[in-house]
Amino acid sequence: EKWVYAFGGGSSEGDASMRNTLGGKGANLAEMANLGLPVPPGFTIITDVCNAYYDGGKTYPAGLDAQIDAALAGLEKVTGKSFGDPSDPLLVSVRSGARASMPGMMDTVLNLGLNDETAEGLAKLSGDRRFAYDSYRRFIQMYSDVVLGVDHSLFEEILETFKEENDYTLDTELSADDWEEIVSQYKSAAASALGYDFPSDPREQLKGAIGAVFDSWMTDRAITYRRLHDIPASWGTAVNVQAMVFGNMGETSATGVAFTRDPSTGDKGYYGEFLINAQGEDVVAGIRTPQCLTKAMREAMGDREPSMEEALPESYAELAAVFDTLERHYRDMQDIEFTVERGRLWMLQTRNGKRTANAALKIAVDMAEEGLITTDEAVLRVEPSALDQLLHPTIAPDAVRDVIATGLPASPGAACGTVVFDSDVAESKAAAGEKVILVRIETSPEDIHGMHAAQGIVTARGGMTSHAAVVARGMGRPCVSGAGMMKIDYAGKFFTAGGRRVEEGDTITIDGATGEVLAGEVKMFKPELAGDFAKLMVWADKARRMKVRTNAETPADVQTAKEFGAEGIGLCRTEHMFFDADRIAAVREMILSDDREGRVAALAKILPMQRADFESIFEIMEDRPCTIRLLDPPLHEFLPHTEDDVRDVAAATGLSATALMERARSLGETNPMLGHRGCRLGITFPEIYEMQARAIFEAQVNVEKKTGVQPVAEVMIPLVATAKELEILKARVAGVAKMVQQETGKAPVYLIGTMIELPRAALRAGEIAEAAEFFSFGTNDLTQTTFGLSRDDAGKFLGDYLDAGIFEKDPFVSIDTDGVGELVSLAAERGRKTRDTLKLGICGEHGGDPASIHFCESVGLDYVSCSPYRVPIARLAAAQAAL
Ligand code: PEP
Ligand code: MG
C-alpha cells in the first residue's frame, strides 16, 4: 500500500484530484508543481495514515517508516542536501493538511532538522550566522510548543528579559551571538520543563512532528471546529513534509499571504500582506504588523511602509503572473502563501480562498461575466447560508459615531453588544440571551466557541489574515482586528483607548466595514439587495425547479417575504393573529364559554378582524397562492395568565374569577402537544373552523372586488391522523364556501389540503389524498412525533446527543433524511399514487435549511416554505439542488 506521495522537483506523484487522499494542501502543492510553478519539493503522508493511526491505538501502519525513509532519500536527492548533515543540512517544514481547510486548527513546525551542528553548518553555508541562529531559536520554541507541549510564553519571557537586560527594543537589534545565547537558554529551559534534553536527532524530530500533526486531529479545538463545519472525523489529516525555503535571509527575502481578489469585498485586484526578512508564522500570528502587497492597497490604507510591489518589484511581478496562472487554472479566487528567498519566489500553498458573503457573491458574478465560469457555476459558488451575512445590518450613514478605537476592517457587518473579555464568559452570557462583543488581545483556536457565541469580535493585535480575521469572516461575524491603541486588562476586566475606559458589560458597537469601535448602541440599517445579489438570484431562479414560499402572517412579514422573492405563502399560522390586542379578549371569551352559543357569539366578534387580516395578506400576495392553516394549538395557550387578564376576561364573560380559573384548569393537559389541538379542535368545535373558513372566503371575494385580482387560497387542516378527520372537516369548509358563494354571487377559488405531521398520516397518505388536494409536510411536528422527541424540551439534552455522535445534526434544524425523510418520501409517493395532481410542499423549519432543501428536491416536492429572511437562501439552495 502506498502511504507517501512525493511532489516538486519537476513533477509530482499526485495532483489536485486526489484531495481526499492528499488533503487540500498536499493535493494543491502537487498540482502547482505539475503546473511548473516553483514549489519547494517534499512529500505527503496521506490521510488514510491518520485513520490507521487512530484505528491502531496511535500506532503507524506497517511499511510506513520505510516509505518515509525512501521519500526522504528522494528529497535529499532533488535538493542535493542531506538530513542532519552539517556540511549542507536539509531542513524541512512539517504541516497538517486536511481535506477541508481548517485554518489555525492544526499545527506547523518550521526549520526542522536543526541542532547545534546543523545550525553551525547553516551559518557557514548561508554566510549569515544571525539568520542561522534566529532560525534555530524559532525551531526550538515552535517544536517545544507544538510537539512537546511546552508553553511558548516560557520562551517569550526569556527573550523579553534578554532584551531588557541588553537595552534592546526590537528583535532586529539582536546579533548572531545574542541569538546563539538565546538558543542555549531556550534549550536549558526546555530541558528543565521536559525533564529530558531537547531532541537533537533530526529523524527523531521528524517522527515527533509527524505524530504531533496526527495528534492535533483529535484536540478539543479541532473537534469543535469540525462540529461547527460539519467535517467528519473520518476524513483525517495528511502530513506534508517539505524542504524549507527561508524568508528570513535578509532584506531580499520575505514571506507573505495573498489573495487573487479582495476576500472582503470581492474586488478584482491582488490583495495581501507580507513581511521582509521574516518567516510565515510572523504574518499569520500578528506579532509584527505586516506591510501591504500592492501599492494601491498601501495608498488606500495610508500605510507608510513600502508595499511588496515597491520593495521587491521583480518578485512581485513574478508573483502576479503566478496569481493569473492559478486563477485561470482553478477558475476560482486563490488564497496563497509564498516565500521569497534571496530574490527567488517559492509557492508554499494555494487553495480556494475563504471570503465574505459579499465577496463570494461579487466574485461569482464577476467570474461569470468574465466568462471564467458559467452562470450555473456562479449559482453553485455561493453558500446559501452565507447569504445570511448579506442580510446583516450595517451602520446607518447618518448615525452618530463616537469612536473609541480604530483597527482593521477585518470582517464586514455591524454588531452591537456588551463587552466581554473571555470566550467562556461570552458563551455563557450568550446562552443566557445576552448579545456580547468578544474583546481579546488576539484570538487563538481556543476562542472559537466564544467567537461563535459573540455578535462580533475585536482584537488589539493582528492583521487582516490573523486568526481572528480569518475565523470571523468564515463565521460571518463582524470583526475589527489590530486595534493597537486598545490596552486590554484581562484581570481588571476593562480596556482603555485614547484616555477612555470601557468595562466588561459596557455596550459597544463595532463596524467591521470601517474597523471602528464605537461607544454605545449605534443606529443600523438593513442592506440593499440589488446589483450582484439580484443578478445571482435571476440565475438561480432560472436553474430552480421548486417554488419558494414563505411562512408569514403579519402584513409586514408578508411584504418583506414578497420583496425577497416569495412566490406564495406556504404557512399562515392563524393562531398568531389571535393574540393581537384588539381580539385576544374575544378569543378568550370564545374559549371560556362552555356552550356553542357562547362560542358563536364570541366568534362573530372575531370574524371581521380575521377577515381583515386575510384581506391584507391577499392584497399583498395578489394572485400568488396562500396556504392558510386553521387553528392548531391547544386552547389553553390563549388563556389569561396575569390577575389583570383574569379580571378583564371575567368581566367580559360575566363569569366569576373563580369559575373562570376553574374552567381554565379544566382545559389544562398533561401533554398538550399530543392533546386537544389541530383538527381535533375542529372536530369538537366546528364553529371555530367555520368562522375561519368564512373569513378566508369573504376576504377573497372582497379583495377580488376591490383589486380585480383573484386571490388563491389553500385551506389547510393541521395534525390530521386519519382520512376520516379530513373528510369531515373538508365537508364543513366546502359548505361554508358554498354559502359564501350563494351570499355574494362569487365562487371563491380554493383548494383544501392537509399537513402531514404525524407518522400515521404519512403511512396512510394514499387514503388521505382521496380528500386532500395538497399536502404540506409539517416537519417540526413530524420530527417530534417520529422521534417521540419534544420540540420544547429537546434542547436540554440535544448537545449530549450531538457530542455522543448519536445525531450528526439537530434534527429540528436539518431534516433526518433516514427516518423522518423516509416518511416524507413514502407519503409523497403514496399520495401522488392516489391523486397525481397532489401539490406537495414543506412548511416546517427545514424548509429554510439548505441541506433539507436538497432532500426536498430529491423527493420531488413542488415547493419549500420558510421564514421571510430565509427566502433568498431557499431560492439559492433550491437552485443548487436542481443543478
Ligand atoms: C410543523 O409542525 O412543521 C409546522 C409547520 O407547524 P408548527 O410549527 O406550527 O407546529
Ligand atoms: Mg405543526
Q: Is the CB of 640 under 6 A from ligand 1?
A: no
The residue whose C-alpha atom lies closest to atom 10 belonging to ligand 1 is 781
Centroid of ligand 2 to alpha carbon of 679 (angstroms):
11
Ion ligand 2, residue ranges at CB < 5 A: 757, 778, 781
Q: Is the CB of 571 under 6 A from ligand 1?
A: yes
Yes or no: say if 771 and 732 are a contact pair by the CB < 8 Å rule: no
Comparing 418-432, 438-452, 634-648, which segment has the lowest mean pLDDT? 634-648
What is the number of the ligand 1 atom nearest to the C-alpha of 757?
Answer: 2
Centroid of ligand 2 to alpha carbon of 823 (angstroms):
15
Place of cell 445525531: 807
Centroid of ligand 1 to alpha carbon of 632 (angstroms):
9
Predicted local distance difference test score (pLDDT) of residue 286: 56
457 pLDDT higher than 60: yes
Yes or no: say if 350 and 32 are a contact pair by the CB < 8 Å rule: yes
**Mean pLDDT value across residues 131-153:** 93
Predicted local distance difference test score (pLDDT) of residue 371: 95
Centroid of ligand 1 to alpha carbon of 781 (angstroms):
6
Q: Is the CB of 791 under 6 A from ligand 1?
A: no
Which one of the ligands is nearest to 812 CA? 1
| 507 burial via Cβ count (<10 Å: 0-12, 13-18, 19+) | middle
Q: Which of 292, 416, 679, 843 is catalytic?
A: 843
Is 467 a known active-site residue?
A: yes
Predicted local distance difference test score (pLDDT) of residue 265: 84
CATH architecture of the domain covering 4-243: 2-Layer Sandwich (3.30)
694 pLDDT higher than 80: yes
Centroid of ligand 2 to alpha carbon of 673 (angstroms):
9
The residue whose C-alpha atom lies closest to atom 6 belonging to ligand 1 is 778
The residue whose C-alpha atom lies closest to atom 9 belonging to ligand 1 is 573
Q: Closest by alpha carbon to 341, among 465, 244, 274? A: 244
**Mean pLDDT value across residues 108-130:** 94
- Site to substitute for ligand 1 among 781, 791, 842, most atoms within 8 A of C-beta: 781
Of 14 and 173, the structure prediction assigns the larger pLDDT to 14
Q: Is the CB of 781 under 6 A from ligand 1?
A: yes
Confidence bin at 584 (pLDDT 50/70/90): confident
DSSP state letter for 673: G
What is the chain's mean pLDDT, rounded?
92
Listed in sequence order, the residues at least 6 apart from 64 whose beta carbon sits closer than 8 Å to its beta carbon are 3, 4, 45, 49
Task: Report the distance separating Cα 81 and Cα 122, nearest Å.
Answer: 11
Task: Report the distance separating Cα 338 and Cα 331, nearest Å.
Answer: 20
Top CATH class of 544-634+669-882 equals: alpha beta
Centroid of ligand 2 to alpha carbon of 777 (angstroms):
9
105 pLDDT higher than 60: no
Centroid of ligand 2 to alpha carbon of 781 (angstroms):
5
Helix residue ranges, H only, 37-128? 47-55, 64-79, 116-126
What is the number of the ligand 1 atom nearest to the C-alpha of 778?
Answer: 3
**Mean pLDDT value across residues 531-546:** 95
DSSP helix/strand/coil, 601: helix
Of 882 and 173, the structure prediction assigns the larger pLDDT to 882
Q: Which neighbouring-strand residues pair with 554?
A: none
Yes or no: say if 713 and 628 are a contact pair by the CB < 8 Å rule: yes
**Mean pLDDT value across residues 607-634:** 96
The reply to whether domains 254-355 and 544-634+669-882 share a CATH topology is: no
- Site to substitute for ligand 1 among 815, 843, 865, most atoms within 8 A of C-beta: 843
Of 580 and 605, the structure prediction assigns the larger pLDDT to 605
Query: 254-261 and 334-341 as β-strands: parallel, antiparallel, unpaired?
Result: antiparallel
Entry pTM: 0.77
Q: Is the CB of 844 under 6 A from ligand 1?
A: yes
User: Nine-digit cell at 170?
Assistant: 526590537
Q: Is the CB of 572 under 6 A from ligand 1?
A: no
Q: Is the CB of 573 under 6 A from ligand 1?
A: yes
- Separation of first and last alpha carbons in the chain: 37
Q: Which of 392, 449, 452, 467 is catalytic?
A: 467
Centroid of ligand 2 to alpha carbon of 678 (angstroms):
8
Helices H / strands E in the chain, number of each: 36, 33
Q: Whats the size of the chain, residue-wise?
A: 883
Q: Closest by alpha carbon to 263, among 330, 356, 336? A: 356
Predicted local distance difference test score (pLDDT) of residue 196: 96
DSSP helix/strand/coil, 475: helix
Which one of the ligands is nearest to 779 CA? 1
Instruction: Round the CA-based radius of gyration of the chain to a whole number and report it.
Output: 33
Q: Is the CB of 842 under 6 A from ligand 1?
A: no
Task: Report the distance separating Cα 433 and Cα 318, nearest Å.
Answer: 52
Task: Report the distance separating Cα 700 and Cα 714, nearest Å.
Answer: 11
What is the number of the ligand 1 atom nearest to the C-alpha of 571?
Answer: 5
Centroid of ligand 1 to alpha carbon of 391 (angstroms):
25
Is 843 a known active-site residue?
A: yes
What is the number of the ligand 1 atom nearest to the C-alpha of 776?
Answer: 5
Q: Is the CB of 780 under 6 A from ligand 1?
A: yes
CATH architecture of the domain covering 392-525: 3-Layer(bba) Sandwich (3.50)
- Site to substitute for ligand 1 among 549, 573, 680, most atoms within 8 A of C-beta: 573
Listed in sequence order, the residues at least 6 apart from 727 whose beta carbon sits closer than 8 Å to its beta carbon are 770, 771
Task: Report the distance separating Cα 475 and Cα 373, nearest Å.
Answer: 26
Centroid of ligand 1 to alpha carbon of 526 (angstroms):
28
**Mean pLDDT value across residues 500-527:** 91
Confidence bin at 287 (pLDDT 50/70/90): low
Confidence bin at 19 (pLDDT 50/70/90): very high
Q: Closest by alpha carbon to 281, among 379, 127, 409, 145? A: 145
Comparing 573-577, 625-629, 827-831, which segment has the lowest mean pLDDT? 573-577
Render pLDDT for 22-37 as a digit per residue (tens, 0 to 9): 999 999 999 999 999 9
430 pLDDT higher than 70: yes
**Mean pLDDT value across residues 642-649:** 78
Centroid of ligand 1 to alpha carbon of 712 (angstroms):
22
Render pLDDT for 323-338 as a digit per residue (tens, 0 to 9): 999 999 999 999 999 9
User: Nine-digit cell at 828?
Assistant: 409523497
User: Nine-digit cell at 653?
Assistant: 364573560
Q: Which neighbouring-strand residues pair with 752?
A: 715
106 pLDDT higher than 70: no
What is the number of the ligand 1 atom nearest to the C-alpha of 779?
Answer: 3
Q: Is the CB of 843 under 6 A from ligand 1?
A: yes
- Site to substitute for ligand 1 among 757, 776, 790, 815, most atoms within 8 A of C-beta: 757
The residue whose C-alpha atom lies closest to atom 4 belonging to ligand 1 is 778
Confidence bin at 104 (pLDDT 50/70/90): low
Is CATH 3.30.470.20 what the domain over 254-355 is classified as, yes or no?
Answer: yes
Confidence bin at 640 (pLDDT 50/70/90): confident
Q: Closest by alpha carbon to 772, among 749, 753, 751? A: 753
Q: Is the CB of 757 under 6 A from ligand 1?
A: yes
User: Nine-digit cell at 50?
Assistant: 491518520
- Site to substitute for ligand 1 among 637, 679, 755, most atoms within 8 A of C-beta: 755
User: Nine-digit cell at 354?
Assistant: 475563504
Task: Report the distance separating Cα 776 and Cα 862, nearest Å.
Answer: 10
**Domain locations in the chain as residue ranges:** 4-243, 254-355, 392-525, 544-634+669-882
What is the number of the ligand 1 atom nearest to the C-alpha of 846?
Answer: 3
The residue whose C-alpha atom lies closest to atom 1 belonging to ligand 1 is 778
Centroid of ligand 1 to alpha carbon of 779 (angstroms):
7
Yes or no: say if 109 and 143 are a contact pair by the CB < 8 Å rule: yes
- Site to substitute for ligand 1 among 575, 780, 792, most atoms within 8 A of C-beta: 780
Predicted local distance difference test score (pLDDT) of residue 546: 98
Which one of the ligands is nearest to 627 CA? 1
Predicted local distance difference test score (pLDDT) of residue 285: 58
What is the number of the ligand 1 atom nearest to the C-alpha of 551?
Answer: 5
Question: Strand runs (DSSP E) across 617-727, as ranges?
Answer: 625-629, 712-717
Q: Which neighbouring-strand residues pair with 416?
A: 509
